[in-house]
């Protein structure tokens, strides 16, 4: 279990990378609950998140701190990364939205995104927090994560495509490399 307690948030998070996609999510933000639930389902991750945050201010601290915890949980659960595929990518449609995502479990955290989300909010969720989530998640997990919006007019669909594409790409990258089950997928011998 990962725990993060600050003056802004109190978070408890558990993660199983090779689960069934079950999720128990309570972030205090309905839209973020929805995104994390579908992230778990599409990645086949078992994920539990309980967060009490300063949502009377906005959802920024809640979103970023959950991403920090989730990234740390991924890093810990991946261990030395022995026997994984390492790379994963997808071109994912979500109605009119089309998202390209590529992941490298490189040990070097970085998010590289090109998103054009047309509205400032989806419900009460500030859409700029989508990028903040993936910046914090990629940095803490040690992932190189690219998201490129190819098409999309509906903010909800664009953000949903981001979370689904990231989950599906991670699922592929974390899958066993059948030809090299005991190898760390790097010429350096470490990721």
DSSP result, 95-141: TTEEEEEEEE--S--EEEEE----SSEETTEETTHHHHHHHHHHHHH
CB-based contacts of 135, cutoff 8 Å, min separation 6: 67, 111
Q: How confident is the model at residue 24 (pLDDT cuts 50, 70, 90)?
A: very high
Q: How confident is the model at residue 115 (pLDDT cuts 50, 70, 90)?
A: very high
Q: Which tokens belong to 173?
A: 């990258």
Q: How confident is the model at residue 38 (pLDDT cuts 50, 70, 90)?
A: very high
pLDDT per residue over 72-95, tens digit each? 999 999 999 999 999 999 999 999
> Taking a C-beta distance cutoff of 8 angstroms, is the pair 161, 127 a contact?
no
Q: How confident is the model at residue 43 (pLDDT cuts 50, 70, 90)?
A: very high
Distance CA 191, CA 105 (A): 8
Distance CA 123, CA 120 (A): 10
What's the whole-number mean pLDDT along residues 103-109? 97
Q: Whole-number mean pLDDT of the chain? A: 97
Q: What is the pLDDT of residue 148?
A: 98
What's the whole-number mean pLDDT along residues 163-190? 96
Output phi, psi for 150, to 5 deg.
Answer: -90, -40
Q: What is the pLDDT of residue 78?
A: 97
C-alpha dihedral sign at 151, 108, 20, 59: negative
Q: Which CATH class is domain 2-174?
A: alpha beta
Q: Which helix (H) or strand (E) holds 181?
A: none
Q: Is the overall model pTM greater than 0.85, yes or no?
A: yes
In the chain, DSSP assigns E strands to 2-5, 9-16, 23-26, 46-53, 87-94, 97-104, 110-114, 121-122, 125-126, 144-151
Q: What is the pLDDT of residue 156?
A: 98
Q: What is the pLDDT of residue 90?
A: 98
* Percent with pLDDT over 90 in the chain: 99
pLDDT per residue over 119-153, tens digit each? 999 999 999 999 999 999 999 999 999 999 999 99
């Amino acid at each position: 279990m990962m725990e993060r307690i600050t003056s802004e948030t109190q978070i408890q998070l558990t993660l199983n990378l090779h689960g069934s996609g079950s999720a128990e999510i309570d972030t205090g933000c309905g839209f973020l609950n929805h995104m994390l639930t579908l992230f778990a389902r599409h990645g086949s991750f078992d994920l539990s998140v309980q967060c009490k945050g300063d949502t009377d201010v906005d959802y920024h601290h809640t979103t970023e701190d959950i991403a920090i915890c989730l990234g740390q949980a991924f890093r810990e659960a991946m261990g030395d990364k022995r026997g994984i595929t390492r790379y994963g990518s997808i071109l994912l449609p979500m109605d009119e939205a089309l998202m390209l995502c590529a992941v490298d479990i490189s040990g070097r955290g970085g998010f590289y995104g090109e998103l054009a989300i047309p509205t400032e909010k989806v419900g009460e969720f500030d859409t700029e927090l989508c990028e903040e989530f993936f910046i914090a998640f990629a940095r803490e997990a040690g992932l190189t994560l690219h998201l490129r919006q190819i098409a999309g007019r509906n903010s909800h669909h664009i953000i949903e495509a981001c979370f689904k594409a990231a989950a599906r790409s991670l699922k592929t990258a974390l899958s066993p490399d059948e030809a090299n089950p005991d190898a760390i997928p790097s010429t350096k011998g470490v990721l």
